[in-house]
Structure 1
Amino acid sequence: MNESDQNPYLRDPPEDLTPIDELDEAEREARRLREAIRHHDRRYYVENDPEIADRTYDTLFQRLVDIEESFGLQIPDSPTRRVGGEPVEELETVEHVAPMLSIQQSGDAADVREFAERMDREIGEVTYTCEPKFDGVSIEVVYDEGVFERAVTRGNGREGDDVSANVRTIRSIPQRLRGEYPDFLAVRGEIFMPRDAFQAYNRERVERGDEPFANPRNATAGTIRQLDPTVTAERPLDCFFYDILDASEGIATHWEELDALESYGLQTNDRAELAADIDEAIAYRDRLVEDREGLNYEIDGVVIKVDEKAACEELGTTSRHYRWAFAYKFPARAGETAIQDVALQVGRTGRLTPVALLDPVDVGGVTVSRASLHNPAEIEEKEVNVGDVVRVERAGDVIPYVDEVVEKRSSGYFEFPATCPVCDSAIERDGPIAFCTGGLACPAQLRRSVEYYASDSGLDIEGLGGERVDQLLEAGLVEESVADLYRLERADLVELEGWGQKSAENLLAELEASKSPPLFAFLAAIGIPHVGRATARELAGAFGDLDGLMDASEDELREVDEIGEVVAREIRDFFDSEGNRRVLRELREAGVEPERAEDRESGDTLSGLTVVFTGSLPDRTRSEAQGLIEGAGGSVTGSVSGNTDYLVVGENPGSSKREDAADEGVPELTPEEFEALVDESEEADRQEQQESSNQRTLEDTFQ
C-alpha cells in the first residue's frame, strides 16, 4: 500500500487533527498535506468538481503553512507558494526554450480558404485541430523532472519577462505534474481572468473608488506583471494550455498533445475539435460565435492548426508566424452588449452613481466594459436590469452610457439597496439622486474626501495630490478619515516610495499651517453636500463660528442668502450624522480649529488678481492668506499657469511651481512683499468703505 492510499486528507479529512507541537513525523504530515491540497486544487480549479468544503480546505492549507514554518520544511513547489512571495525590484528578461511566434489572422472566410488551399498545394490533404482563440496573456511554462521551474511572458517571441513568482500563485497551474510526464517539458498557455470573476473584481474596484479595468485581458496583463506576487495571488486568474513548445519525448499530432497535456495535470479547453477539412473548421468557428456569450472566458476567434506535427515541421515558420496555423477572428461586438452586474460608485459627497458592468463591447473603436446609468430615476425610466442587452453610446466620444434596452432579458429594473455597499450606512433619495449618509466616516468617500480637503478648493495643502493620497491610504497611514492626516509622522512618510526627509517635513509643515483655517475654507473642505466656497462664505458670515453653524436649525439655515430648503436639509443632515460629528471632534482634538469669520464686508481691491502659494508663510497660515486674497476679490489656485499674476514663495518651497513660474514668466513675491500687497489692499479697502460711509452720511443729511 503506497502513501497516497494511506493519506487521510484526500477523501474525507478528519476534523480532529493532532496538535502541531505533538507531531512525531512532521515531514510526512507535510508531504500528505501537499499531496492532498494539490489534489483538491485540481478538483476545484480545473475539474470544477470539489470533494471537500471550502472551510475544510482552508483548515488543511493553514495547517500546512504552520507545519512548514514551525519545522522549516518550506520547498519551492509547495502549494503554500500560491499566496505570493517577496516583491521583486524588476522583472528579468529570459530567453524562450523555443520561439513563441504569432499567428496570421483574418475575419474574412476567403482568407481562411486561401490558407487551406496553400496547405493543399504544399502538403496535400490535411486534418485540422480547431481551438478557441483565447483573449488573454500568452505564457511559456517550463517543468523539469515534473516540477515547475519558471514562467515567461511571450514578449517579443524570442524572450520575455520572468513572471514565475506571479504564475506560481495561479491555482489551476500545477507546481508538480502528474502521470507519465517527460523529464523536460516547455508548454504554451493562455492566462486569463474568467468573465464572472472579472465582473466581480471590477465591481469591488468601482465600489472602493478605483478605476475599473477596461476588459479581462487588460486586467490579466496588469496582474501578471505585478512586482508584488501577493497582489497577483489576490486576483482571480486562470490558465488553459494548448501547445508543447519542447519536450524530451515527441508527440505525433496537436490533438494528441491536448490529451497529453491533460494527462500531465495541465488544464486544457473542452471546446477543441478535430475538423476533417476547412469547411468543418469554418463551421466550428460559426458555432463558437453563437456560443461565445455563454462562455466564462473571453475569446475573439478560433485557431485552426494543421494536426500532423511532421507536416507542421515541413511547413516551418516565417520570421513572425507559424505557417501551419491560421486565426479566424470573430467580428467585434459593436454597440450592443449584455449587462453582467451593476456596481454603485460612491462620490466625495456621498452621491451614488450606478455603473453598468458589461460584456466588453466596441464603441467607436474603443473597448468598453462599463457604462454610466446616471441615477436611480433613469434606471427606472429605462427599466434597465442585470442580464438585459443594451445599446451603449459615448457622450462626446468620452463617457460611455447606457442609451436604451434593446432586448429585455429580465423582469423589472435594478433597485438600489437600502444601505451603502461600502459602509452599510443608509441610502437616501433626493429626487432622482441617491446618497450614502455615511459622510466623512464612509471609507469609499475617504480618498476623495482627503484629496478634496487638501485641494485648492479646500485648505490648499501643498504636496498632497492624488498620487500621494493613494500612497497614504495604501500604506495604512490614513485609514478612517481626514483627521488621520494630523497623526502622520516623519518616520512613516520617509519610508514611502519617492519621499525624502525634506518632502516629509514640508508636508508636516503644511498640515501644521492648516490647523487654523478661515471658517469658510474649512466648511468648503469637509465636503458638505451642495456647499462650495461661495456658499461656505455665506454660512461663515451668518453664523460666525463652527459651533454656531453645527447647532443651526433648518429654519435658521434657510434665512441665509442662497440657502434653499434642499441645501438647508443637506447641511442639517450632514451635522446630524454621528460619523461626521466624530470626524469633526477628531479634527479638533488634533488641533484643527477654524477661525471665527470676520464681521466685515468683502472688498474688491484685488479683483482679477490670481495668486499661487508655495512653501509656508512665517506670519500667517496658508488658509488665512488665501482668505485675505479671496476676501479682497482675488483668487488663489493650486498650480501656476499663464493666467497667474504672482507666485508667493515662502519657507521650504516646492520646486515644480517655481519651475512653472519661470517658464510662464510669472513674478515671485517674498512673504514680506506679499504682506505689503495685503496691507495696500486693506488700506484701499478701508478708504473705499470710509468714502462709502461718508457718502451715506451726506445722503442722510440731505434727505
Structure 2
Amino acid sequence: MDIQQKIQALRDELNQHNYNYYVLDNPTISDFDFDVKLKALQQLEKDHPEFFDEHSPTQRVGGMITKNFETVIHDSRMYSLDNSYSKEDLVEWENRVQRVLGNVNIEYTCELKYDGASISMTYENGKLVRAITRGDGFQGDNVTNNIKTIKSVPLHLKGDFPEKFDIRGEIILPFAGFEKMNQELIEIGETPYSNPRNTASGSLKLQDSAEVAKRPLDCLLYSIVGNKLPFKTHFDGLQHARNWGFKVPKEAQLATSLDEVFQFIDYWDTHRHNLPYETDGVVIKVNSLHYQDELGYTAKAPRWAIAYKFKAEQVFTRLNSISYQVGRTGAITPVANLEPVQLAGTIVKRASLHNADQIEKLDIRVHDTVFVEKGGEIIPKIIAVDLSKRPEHSEPTKYITHCPECQTALVRTLGEAQHYCPNFYGCPPQIIGRMQHFISRKAMDIEGLGGETVALLFNNGLVQNYADLYELKVEQILPLERMAQKSAENLVNGIEKSKEIPFERVLFALGIRFVGETVAKKLARHYKTIDALELASVMDLVLVDEIGERIANSVVEFFENQENKFIIDRLKSYGVQMEAVSKTNPDATEKLIGKTFVVSGVFEKYSRDDLKKAIEDNGGKVGSSISSKTDFVIAGENMGPAKLEKANQLKIQILSEDDFIKLLNEN
C-alpha cells in the first residue's frame, strides 16, 4: 500500500469511527485507540502535504480564524413555522390543508422541535462545501469552518446521494456538555452561561474554530432541499439522510391521522424531560412531498407544516417596578422589572406588560406577586397576579400621561391599544430607533455599524437622522469611545457600500409605519421609483395588490411631511438607490402582464420554480390559491382535486404545460 492509499484508508477508518460514536452512539473503538490513529494520520499528512484534504478528520480540531463572517444568500429560503398551542389549533390546520388538497388521506411526519441554532448545509458530490446560519431566512452567515469541527456533521457522505442538495437542522448543546462547560467556568470564577440554546448559537460565531471544537456541540438534521431528490415523502427523506451519514433523530414517527399525532404529542409532553437536549414542542409535516408542493407557502411559513408548542413553564416572582420604553414609531411599551427568577433555562428580570389595557385587565400593581411564563417559550410575560399576597394599602397602577424621554403629552388613537409619543422628530429614542432600523440587516445592512454605535453617534451630536450617516468622516468618529482607526474606516466604508442596496430594501429602511419587508417589495415593484410613490394618492395605493387603507394613509402621511421629503432628497444626492433596477432577461416580455396564474401539479419540461419564474419574467403574477382573481391554472400531473374542482366552479381556464409554452410563443 503506497502512502496516499495508507492516508486515505486511515481517513476512511476514522470517519467510520466518528460516525459510529457521534451518530449511532455505538463506539467500536476506545478513545485511546482513536487518538493513536488520529495522531498517526496527522503525522502522515504533515510529512506529505501534497495529499492535504480539507475534509480529512484531522481538520475537525479547528484553528481557522474568521474575523468577519461572509453573508450568503440561501439557495432556498429558510421559512419560519406557524405555532399552535392547542389540539384545536391542529384540527383547524388540518381543515385548511384538506380544503386545498380535497378529501384525500393525509399522512404526517411527527418530529420533536429542538431548541438550538438553525443551520443549512450544502453538499456537492458528497462533500460539505458550505454551512450557513438561518439569518433572516433569506440570507445568513457562512460558518463552515466552525461547523466542520462538530463531529456528528459528516464531511464525506456515503451511499447513493444526489449530486447537490441542502440539508437543514439544529445545532444543539446537550445538557451534559452544557453543565460541564458551566462547571469549568464556575471553578475558575467566571460567569456561567445562561442556557444551552444561546450558548450553541453564540458558538457558531466564535472567530477561532479551535475554540468551537472544544465545545460539545451536536447537529440534528430534519429537512432536505434540492432538485430531483430520490424520495417522494418527507419520512423517506429522513431515512435517506441517515443512510448517507447524517444524525437524524430516531424519535421521528409516521402518523396516519391526527389522533396518532395527538398520541405522539402526549407521549413526548411527558417524556421530553428524559431527553439529553432541549425540546419545546413537536413539528407536524404533511408527509407527501407532492402535497407539500400543492400546499405551498404563506409569506412567512409553509402551509404543510406546523409546530405544536408544549405548555410554557410558569414561575412566580415579585414585581419591583414598572418602566416605560419608547419605540422608533413612538409606541410606548410598559415593562415589568422583576425580582430575578429562573424560567425555562434563563434568568428572567423583565417582562412586557404590552399596554395600558393589559395592566388594567390584570390589575397589575408594583410589589405584587405575579405569575410569569415565556410566551412560546421565548418572550417572558405576566399572566396573572396572586391577589392573596398583595400588600396592604396597595394602589392601582396609573399609566403615564407624558413621554418618559421628552415629556411630550402622550396620545392614543381610537381603536388602538397603545399610547404614542407624537414628538416624532424630537424624541431621542424615536430618532435613534429609526436610524437603528435603517442600518439593520434586512434594511441597509451597514457593516461596521451597530445599534449601540448609532446611539453613540447621536448622543455625541454627529447624526440627527439617517441621512446624516452619509456625511460622516473618519476623523469625526475616531474620538468616540471604543473607536480605533480600523473600525472607524470600516464604518465609513460600510455606509458607502450601502448605496448599492436595492430600492425595495431602501424603502423598507425608511421606516414608514406599517410598511414591512413584503409591502416594501410590492410598492417598489409597482411604482419603480420613490418619485412615483411620493405622488401616489390613497386611492392609487389601495388599488395596488394587498395594500389596504391603513398602509395607504401611512404612506401618504409620510410623504406629506416636509422633513421626510428633505431627507429623501439628501439620500438621493448621496447616491442611495431610489429606483428599482430591472434584472435584464433577454427573453422577458410583457405578454402576460395583468394576468394571474396558479401552478398546480408535477411538470415534465419545467420545475415548478422555473414555471413561476417564466410567468413573472413575462409580466404575469403567480397566485398561491385559486380565486375569482385567477386568470389561468397551469395543471400538471397529480393536480390537487380540490384545486381542479374550484377552478371548474369559477370557470377558470386550465392550461397544460404545453398550452402554457404555446401561449408564451404566440407572436
TM-score of the pair, normalised by structure 2: 0.48
Q: Which has the larger radius of gyration?
A: 1
